[in-house]
Chain A
Amino acid sequence: MFEKTAESVQEESSEAEKLRLFEARIARGEKIEPGDWMPAEYRRQLIRMISQHAHSEIVGMLPEGAWITRAPSLRRKMILLAKVQDEAGHGQYLYHAAETLGISREEMLAALLEGRAKYASVFNYPTLTWADVGVIGYLVDFAAILNQTMLARCSYGPYARAMVRICAEENFHKKQGQDIVIHLASGTSSQKAMVQDSINRWWWPTLMMFGPHDGESPNTPVLVGWGIKTRTNDELRQSFVNQIVPELHSLGLSLPDPSLHYNKATGDWIIGEIDWDEFWRVINGHGPCNQERMEARRRAHEEGAWVREALSAYNG
C-alpha cells in the first residue's frame, strides 16, 4: 500500500511544475494574488508575518496612547490622537490582508489575547516622558518605515498594497516625532536632558526591532527567495543607523553606545553588540511592560464584548 500509484506520481510532478511556475512569476516581479496557486509554506510564512505586523500596530497604540491626555498643547494632542488612530487603521488593513490567505480576524485576535502570537518587542518598553512620544515617532516609526518600504515591494499583492498605504501615513508619524525631538533638542537645558534620556532608553530597543542577525534568522532565506523580503535584517538595521546617527549628532544628541564609530572605508556607522539576551527575554514575554500590554488588550476585548454581541444579534 506504500507503493506510489501512477496517479500520485503525476500529482507530485504537477506540484513541482506549479512551484516552478510560481517561482518564475515571482522572478518576473509579478504579484501573487488570492486565488493564485501558492506553496503551503508561502501561505504560512505570510500569515505569520502579516498577523504579527497587525498585532504590533494594535499593541503599538498603547505606549503612545498613554500620553494623549497629557500632550503639552492642543495641536500636539490632535496630532497624537490622529497618529494613534492611524495605528488602529493600519492594524485593520493588515488583519484584512492576512484574511485573504484564509485565516479569520477572530483566530488572529484569539492568538494574540491567549499569548500565542508575537508582536514587535519595542512596544514592551514604558513611555516615561513626553520626549518618548517624539523619540518613538522619530526612531521607531523610521525603523518601521524602512522595513515597510521593503514590504511594499513584497510578492504578495494584498500585503504590498496595504504597505503602500501604511508607508504614506507613517511618514507623517516619523515627521511629527522628529518635530518634537528638534523642538526639545533646541529648547531649555531640562528639555534637552529629557530628550537625551529618552534617546538613551529607546536606542537599543529600536535597533532590536530589525530582528536577529542574519545568521540567527531562520526564516530569512525562504522569505528572500520568495520575494516576501528583499533585504535582510542586518542590511535594514545598517541603513537605519547610517541615516539616523548623523541626524541625531547634528541635533547635539549622543547615543548610548561607547563603541559606535564611523568606518571611512565603507561609509557605515558601526554599532556595538546588541544585548540579544534582552531581546529574547522581551520577545518571550518578560519585558518591562509585556504583562501590562496584554492585560490592556484583554480588558479592551472583554469590555467590547457587548458591542460584538449586539452586532451579531442585529446581524442574526
Chain B
Amino acid sequence: MAKPDTQLPRFQVFLQEKTGQPHQDVGSVHASDPEMALLNARDVFVRRPECTSLWVVLADAIFSKTAQELEEQELGDKGLGDEGVKEESGEVENYYIFYKPKPTGTQTLVGEVPAAAPVEALRLALERFSGDKPPSAWWILPARRVLVSSPDDIESMFAPAQDKKFRLSTDFHTLTEMRRVKSEFGGQ
C-alpha cells in the first residue's frame, strides 16, 4: 500500500529581529496552511529573544530569479512569468521585493511595488533596487499571499523567549570559571 503523503506544503519564513530592521529569510517549515506555518515558524526559529515579527508565504508563491538565470534568459513576456507561480490575479497588486545584495548574503526585504504580475514586479525591482552592484538573486512575493504575525501576537509568541536567558552562551561564565579553577590548582 502506498504511504500517505504527509509531506505537507513548504512555507518560506522571514524574520525581523528588531523593529525598523528588514525582514530576512531564515528558512522554511512544512504546514497545512499559513496559520499553522506561522506557529511552526515560531517554534523552529524563535527559541531566543531576537524576533519582533514573522512572515510566512507558500514557497510555490515565490517568484525567484538568480543573477545567473537573468543572464541566461531575456526578461521577456514569455518563459519567465509562468514558472514558479501558480496563480496570478491579473489585477494590479502589491509585491514584496526581496534580494540578496551580495553573493554571500541572505534574502532581505528591500521594498514593495505595485504590479499586474510577478514578472512586471521584477522588472520594476530591477530598475529601482539594483544599485551599483546588481544583486545576486531576487524573490518576488505577492503581498496578499504573505501571512504576517500581528503586533498583538508579540506577547504570546515572542515575549516568552525574552526570559530564557539561559539559552544564550553569554549566560555562562566559563572563562572566568576556568581561570578560577586554574588558580586553585596553583597553575599546574
Residues of B50-93 whose CB lies within 8 A of A: 64-66, 68-69
- What residues of B have a CB within 8 angstroms of the CB of A169 in the complex? 47-48, 167
Q: How far is the CB of A27 from chain B (nearest CB, A)?
A: 12
Chain B contact residues: helix, strand, loop or mixed? mixed
Q: A35-B69, A186-B184, A311-B6 are in contact. Are A29 and B47 (CB under 8 A)?
A: no
How far apart are B79's CB and chain A's nearest CB, in angstroms? 14
User: Is A53 an interface residue, CB under 8 A from the partner?
Assistant: no
Complex Cα gap A46–B115 (Å)? 37
B174 touches A175 (CB 8 A): yes
Whether the pair A311, B164 counts as a contact (CB closer than 8 A) is no
Q: Are B27 and A93 in contact (CB under 8 A)?
A: yes
Closest chain B CB from A146 CB (angstroms): 16
> In the complex, what residues of B have CB within 8 A of residue A247's CB?
178
Q: Is B1 an interface residue (CB 8 A)?
A: no
How many residues in A have their beta carbons less than 8 Å from beta carbons of B? 52
Is there a chain B Cβ closer than 8 Å to A231's Cβ?
A: no
Asked if A298 lies at the interface with its beta carbon under 8 angstroms from chain B, I say no
Docked complex Cα distance between A315 and B32 (Å): 5
Set of chain A residues within 8 Å of B28, measured between Cβ atoms: 96, 99
In contact, B8 and A29 (Cβ under 8 angstroms): no
Q: Which of A1-33 contact B (CB under 8 A)?
A: 25, 28-31, 33
Instruction: Tell me the chain A residues, 161-175 only, with Cβ under 8 Å from chain B.
Output: 161-162, 165, 169, 171-172, 174-175
A93 to B106: give the CA distance in the assembly, Å: 15
A252 to B182, CA, bound (A): 9
Which of the candidate stretches A77-85, A118-126, A261-269 sits at the interface with the other chain? A77-85
On chain A, the residues within 8 Å of B16 by CB distance are: none
Interface size class of B (residues with CB under 8 A): 35 or more
* A105 neighbours in B (Cβ, 8 Å): 7, 30
A157, B172: Cα distance in complex, Å: 31
Q: Which residues of A contact B4 (CB under 8 A)?
A: 308-309, 312
A-B CB contacts (within 8 Å), total count: 124
Check A30/B104 contact, CB under 8 A, given A99-B28, A172-B168, A309-B6.
Answer: yes
B10 cross-chain contacts in A, Cβ below 8 A? 96, 99
Whether A185 contacts B181 by the Cβ 8 Å rule is yes
One of A176-184, A193-201, A214-222 at the interface: A176-184
- Interface mask (B130-149 → A, CB under 8 Å = 1, otherwise 0): 00000011000000000000
Cα distance, A105 to B29, chains bound together (Å): 11
- Per the bound structure, the CA–CA distance linking A172 and B164 in Å amounts to 12
Give complex CA distance A174, B174 in Å: 10
List chain B residues, Cβ under 8 A from A106. 3, 5-7
Is B44's beta carbon under 8 Å from chain A? Answer: yes
- Cβ of A97 < 8 Å from any Cβ of B? yes
CA distance in complex: A164, B56 (Å): 21
Tell whether A260 is near chain B: CB-to-CB under 8 Å.
no
With beta carbons under 8 angstroms apart, the residue of B5, B7, B47 that contacts A86 is B47
Q: Does A92 reach chain B (CB closer than 8 Å)? A: yes
Is A29's CB under 8 angstroms from B104's CB? Answer: yes
Q: Could you tell me if B8 and A315 are in contact, using CB atoms closer than 8 angstroms?
A: yes
Tell me if B8 and A311 are in contact (CB < 8 A): yes
Q: Is there contact, CB below 8 Å, between A33 and B32?
A: no
Q: Which residues of B contact A185 (CB under 8 A)?
A: 181
Q: Are A35 and B64 in contact (CB under 8 A)?
A: yes
> Residue B127 at the A interface, CB < 8 A?
no
Tell me whether A171 and B7 are in contact in the complex, defined as CB-CB below 8 angstroms, given that A36-B68, A86-B47, A250-B182 are known contacts. Answer: no
- Would you call A165 and B47 a contact (CB within 8 A)? no
Q: Do the beta carbons of B185 and A252 come within 8 Å of each other? A: yes
A-B contact pairs, 26 of them (CB 8 A): A29-B103, A31-B103, A31-B136, A33-B100, A35-B66, A35-B68, A36-B69, A82-B47, A82-B164, A92-B44, A96-B10, A96-B27, A104-B7, A106-B3, A157-B104, A165-B26, A172-B168, A179-B174, A182-B181, A247-B178, A250-B182, A251-B178, A251-B181, A252-B181, A252-B188, A311-B32
User: What 8 pairs across the A-B complex have the smallest Cβ distances?
Assistant: A308-B6, A315-B32, A175-B172, A30-B103, A171-B169, A172-B169, A178-B174, A96-B28
